[in-house]
Amino acid sequence: MSMYLKSLELAGFKSFAKKSSLEFNSPISAIVGPNGSGKSNIAEAFRFVLGEQSIKSMRGKKGEDLIFNGAGDGGRANRASAKLTFDNVKRLLPIDFDEVVLERVVHRDGVNEYLINGSLVRLKDIIELLASAHIGASGHHIISQGEADKILNANLRDRRSMIEDALGLKIYQYKKEESERKLEKTDQNIKEVESLRREIAPHIKFLKKQVEKIERAMEMKRELIALYKEYFKREDVYLKKEQDSILHDRSKPEAELSELGDELRRLKDVVSQASQNESRSPELLALEEKIASVRMDKDATTRELGRIEGEISYLKRSIAKKNEELNKEKTKTVFLVDVESLYQEIDEKIRQAEGSEDIGFIKSIFNNLRELVTGFISKNKTKNDDSATADFEKELEILSSDKHSFERKLAEIREEEQSLSKKYDVIKDEIEKNKDQNVEAEKAILRIMTRQNELHSQMASITARHEKISLEKEDFERELHEAAMLIGREAINYDSVVLEEVGEDRHAQLERKRTIERIKIRLEESGIGTSEDVMKEFKEAEERDIFLAKELSDLETSGAALRQMIVELTEKLDTEFKEGVRKINDEFHKFFVLMFGGGAASLKVVREKIRRRKSAEEIEALERGEIEEMGDDETEELGDEGLDIEVSLPRKKIKGLVMLSGGERALTSIALLFAISQVNPPPFIILDETDAALDEANSRKYGDMVENLSKYSQLIVITHNRETMSRAGILYGITMGSDGISKLLSIAFDEAVQVAK
């Protein structure tokens, strides 16, 4: 067979103070020497380098005990190391090197170092690498002195663990335990993620309500923008149309007035000439001029009155708008000075009444008091304490006063015009009696003057319209500015708006304006100034929750996969374990019969029984007869599966391990260990004086089994038995001098035989 184990090198390990190297180039290598020479330190060095963590199993209390502590003239070492070299050409170990060197170093401070081919690694890396090759720090392939009986003394569960290790199932057990650790960590992570989601859920709920409020406000904003655009578009179209209409309506009357003026001057020249010729009274001409002057005053007054009415209309709309805002308050404020003034007047009236005995006078005083109070209440009902409308009201009062003045003036002018016209008619009638040539001219002058009056009235109306449109344009521009300030320039970009119905009723536009004002108030009350921060925070919180939800889903998926893997590993472990036990039993029986000359032996899978004290519920159930009695105060239940050993010796009525003698137990344990090694041969086996209790006859059987076993596994045998030594290809002798240091001597029998031939 191929040699997997090439060499073991020790330095400072226990009694091996100096560097010592053992070459394993034979299927069986024997290590011999007197008691106390350090032979068993070789087996412990194997445990050490293969990752054993129990210092006690290496006959020490702490890591420092494994380091050579000095003896005689030799000083103590600061570190202990063991280096194991494998031939890995056949890739026994899953690493891409033809030779693999494992090394472990322990220092005085207890720090351990693990190396693979000179590179520092973790203990976990060593264990995983060896587990894949069916090698461990302890178990079936390292059997030390006094431990051969360990598998017989073990309980059911520990014995199962040993067999699983021997069958190479430890890798599945390791993966299962690792999966269970990962599952536990995953379940913990799931709880943490669920906890995080529960923590942020109320905040997300609060933010969502805020966002809904913001979205409603933004919807109002979008609605307001749409209304504004249509309103501005329609208002722009309306104003331009009205301005064009005014220009158009004004052009004809102005042209006609110009023509009529020229014609009137020509006719007046005719009449004047005729009057001079006919000695016409100059009074008529004076009246005509005065009437013309009066009519010019009337036209000017009419235009001014139209302008004032337009301004009054605009001020009333402004006051109404302000009052609409101010009238939200349900109470009016009365100034103390006004109340004190009322009190003084009332007090004065009461004093007058107190000083009189005239009932009629006293009644009149009471009437005066009622009027004072009624007037005070009436005055303060209509009084508005907001200074925002005071200037408008004052200006409106001035304009109203001007309007009344101009109305009176217009009425006086009309009366004067009427009076002059009557006087003119009287004089005209008198002149017409004597007119001949100028009759037609005068008629034409009258017609022209009448037409001029009509045209001047039209022009006054057009001027009033112009003033009104100018005010509406100012209102339009002011609204544009307010819209831009409130919701941005998007609201005033109305050029692209297409109107389905251009010539709608003006009332619809005014209703649209009122709707805009209502939405503006609601929008201002909603307060969307911090909307961007809230939206950003909600988005971040929602994204965090989505991330956690995904992480939770991933963790749950991972947990399900780990649970499935654990189930599959458990099933695989159970199946291969039972199949391995069956194969071991075949070999166990053969070796047992060979060792004892007959009889039978086997491993049996059983489920251990665990006794425990009854619970209060079980006692009550017993009293009711619902369960069977199993003892006074104890009950038993089934635990985990384990392994029991059944033996039957030839010519003896022995059916169990407890009845075996020490030698019989040794033979039984050797038969079982060799059977295990046959079923799943490890790369190498270390036997530390497992043959110490055998007599000569059994030693030969043991030697035959060792020689047969070496066909499957490389053997390192620590022995005192001559029969066992005779089967070795190389013999290492361990000696120890007075300095307490172990030394090596070697004899290669295979090479000696070749030389002898």
DSSP string, 493-509: --TT---S-SS--HHHH
Q: What is the pLDDT of residues 86-135, one digit of tens each?
A: 999 988 899 999 999 999 999 998 899 999 999 999 998 998 888 777 77
1: pLDDT strictly greater than 70: no
pLDDT above 90 coverage of the chain, percent:
14
C-beta separation of 242 from 469 below 8 A: yes
36: left (phi over 0), alpha (psi -120 to 50) or beta: left
Whole-angstrom distance, CA of residue 672 vs CA of residue 151:
9
Whole-angstrom distance, CA of residue 553 vs CA of residue 297:
92
Whole-angstrom distance, CA of residue 75 vs CA of residue 70:
5
Burial (0-12, 13-18, 19+ Cβ within 10 Å), 505: exposed
Per the model's pLDDT, the better-predicted residue between 147 and 649 turns out to be 649
C-beta separation of 50 from 716 below 8 A: no
| Residue 707 identity (one-letter amino acid) | E
Whole-angstrom distance, CA of residue 201 vs CA of residue 207:
10
Sheet holding 28-32: strands in order across?
A: 142-143, 684-688, 714-718, 28-32, 730-736, 742-748
Interhelix angle 170-278/439-487, nearest 10 degrees: 160
Q: What is the pLDDT of residues 334-350, one digit of tens each?
A: 677 878 888 888 888 88
Mean pLDDT of all residues in 534-555: 85
Q: What is the pLDDT of residues 473-488, one digit of tens each?
A: 899 888 888 888 877 8
Mean pLDDT of all residues in 236-241: 87
C-beta separation of 119 from 605 below 8 A: no
The one-character DSSP state at 121 is E
- What are residue 604's DSSP bridge partners? 644
For the ranges 173-182, 462-471, 741-750, the lowest mean pLDDT is seen at: 741-750
Per the model's pLDDT, the better-predicted residue between 682 and 82 turns out to be 82
Whole-angstrom distance, CA of residue 306 vs CA of residue 310:
6
The DSSP element (H or E) to which 714 belongs, if any, is strand 714-718
C-beta separation of 608 from 639 below 8 A: yes
DSSP string, 30-47: EEE--TTSSHHHHHHHHH
pLDDT above 70 coverage of the chain, percent:
87
| Residue 645 identity (one-letter amino acid) | I
- What are residue 600's DSSP bridge partners? 648
Band of the pLDDT at 270, cuts 50, 70, 90?
confident
C-beta separation of 28 from 719 below 8 A: no
Report the mean per-residue pLDDT for the chain: 82
Q: Given the DSSP bridges, would you call strands 142-143 and 684-688 parallel, antiparallel or unpaired? A: parallel
> Which residues have CB under 8 Å from 19's CB, separation 6+?
9, 10, 11
pLDDT at 730: 92
429: pLDDT strictly greater than 80: no
C-beta separation of 706 from 677 below 8 A: no
The DSSP element (H or E) to which 396 belongs, if any, is helix 390-432
pLDDT at 388: 56
Q: How far is CA 601 from CA 662, 678, 693, 701, in A?
A: 17, 16, 20, 18
pLDDT at 383: 62
Of 128, 136, 124, nearest in space to 162 by CA: 136
Band of the pLDDT at 281, cuts 50, 70, 90?
low
C-beta separation of 679 from 88 below 8 A: no
Q: Given the DSSP bridges, would you call strands 112-116 and 600-613 parallel, antiparallel or unpaired? A: unpaired
Band of the pLDDT at 59, cuts 50, 70, 90?
confident
pLDDT at 756: 42
Q: What is the pLDDT of residues 30-53, one digit of tens each?
A: 999 988 888 889 988 998 999 888
Sketch out the chain's domains with CATH numbers.
1-141+682-757 (3.40.50.300), 282-328+337-437 (1.10.287)
For the ranges 377-381, 492-496, 549-553, the lowest mean pLDDT is seen at: 377-381
C-beta separation of 80 from 104 below 8 A: no
757: pLDDT strictly greater than 50: no
Neighbour tally for 179: CB within 10 Å: 21
Neighbour tally for 18: CB within 10 Å: 14
Q: What is the pLDDT of residues 183-208, one digit of tens each?
A: 999 999 999 888 888 888 888 888 77
Mean pLDDT of all residues in 587-611: 84
711: pLDDT strictly greater than 80: yes
C-beta separation of 362 from 353 below 8 A: yes
pLDDT at 638: 59
Mean pLDDT of all residues in 543-565: 89
In the structure encoding, which two tokens stand for residue 432, read together? 């017409």
pLDDT at 639: 64
The DSSP element (H or E) to which 718 belongs, if any, is strand 714-718
308: pLDDT strictly greater than 90: no
pLDDT at 436: 57
pLDDT at 755: 45
Band of the pLDDT at 491, cuts 50, 70, 90?
confident
pLDDT at 530: 54
SS3 for 264?
A: helix
608: pLDDT strictly greater than 50: yes
230: pLDDT strictly greater than 80: yes
Q: What is the dihedral of CA 474, 478, 481, 483, to 10 degrees?
A: -120
Whole-angstrom distance, CA of residue 655 vs CA of residue 652:
9
Per the model's pLDDT, the better-predicted residue between 374 and 328 turns out to be 374
Of 642, 640, 648, nearest in space to 602 by CA: 648
For the ranges 228-242, 421-435, 572-586, 743-757, the lowest mean pLDDT is seen at: 743-757
